[in-house]
Amino acid sequence: MEPIKVHEGLVYPLNRANVDTDQIIPKQFLKRIERQGFGQFLFYNWRFDDQGNKRVSFNLNEDKYEGASILVAGDNFGCGSSREHAPWALQDYGFKVIIAPSFADIFYSNCFKNGILPITLSGNNVESLIQRAEDENYQLVVDLENQVVKDSFGYEEGFSISSYQREMLLNGWDEIAVTLTHEAKIEQFEQNL
């Protein structure tokens, strides 16, 4: 996994709450047995109509959000299905950071396994970020080492994250390899089963 330390990128605002993983990646794309290539199907039913044409009404299709890598959305982002295809699709599309007032538990932990940083900011913060990104070409700098989000106009907001998850992203760890350093303890545990 690629480590994240500081990331600077264009912000894409998705002004909706309860965005579920069925919307992030619809079920018809879950039949693939690969991990790559899901970006083209991200938000598929919102981005494309029945004929496969882009829906102009959905803002991710606007030119100004091309190349966006920071997604800002409403409460409870990633609820529903546990499908890791959701972070795979977001990551493959180019998103590295997701900012929301709250995340669903399984989605939140899936992000860390795929080099995506989910950041929880207050509802007020998120609202103003969404507003800025809707109004103009808006860039943010996300500094994981110092745990702050900032822009070049003086906005700066700290965020919290567990030290374990922070380390995992900063170092791009293979979690299984870390766990296997505790193998003797697992064996010992199994002997008492």
Report how far apart, in Å, the C-alpha atoms of 90 and of each of 21, 76, 107, 193 are.
11, 16, 12, 40
- By CB under 8 A, tell whether 161 contacts another protein: no
Q: Does residue 87 bind another protein (CB under 8 A)?
A: yes
Residue 83 in the binding site for another protein (CB under 8 A): yes
Binding of another protein by 125 (CB under 8 A):
no
- Closest C-alpha to 105, from 75, 126, 85, 82: 82
Residue 170 interacts with another protein (CB under 8 A)? no
Alpha-carbon gap, residue 140 to 70, rounded angstroms: 8
Does position 32 interact with another protein (CB under 8 A)? The reply is yes
Residue 60 CA, distance from chain mean position:
15
Q: What is the DSSP string of 26-95?
A: -GGGTT---SS--GGGTTHHHHB-TTSPBPTTSGGGSGGGTT--EEEE-SSBTBS---THHHHHHHHHT-
Query: Which CB atom, from 106 or from 148, has the smaller least distance to another protein?
Result: 106
Decide: is 156 part of the binding site for another protein (CB under 8 A).
Answer: no
Kindly tell me which residue out of 145, 164, 170, 172 binds another protein, with binding defined by CB under 8 A: 164
Q: Note whether 97 and 142 are within 8 A (CB).
A: yes
Task: Establish if 5 lies at the interface with another protein (CB under 8 A).
Answer: no
Stretch that binds another protein, among 5-13, 19-27, 56-64, 150-158 (CB under 8 A): 19-27
Q: Please report whether residue 74 would count as binding another protein according to CB under 8 A.
A: yes
Q: Which of 141, 138, 144 is nearest to 115 (CA)?
A: 144
Applying CB under 8 A, the residues found at the interface with another protein are 15-18, 20, 22-23, 26-28, 30-35, 45, 50, 74-76, 79-84, 87, 102, 104-106, 109-110, 113-114, 162-164, 174-176, 179-180, 182-183, 185-186, 189-190
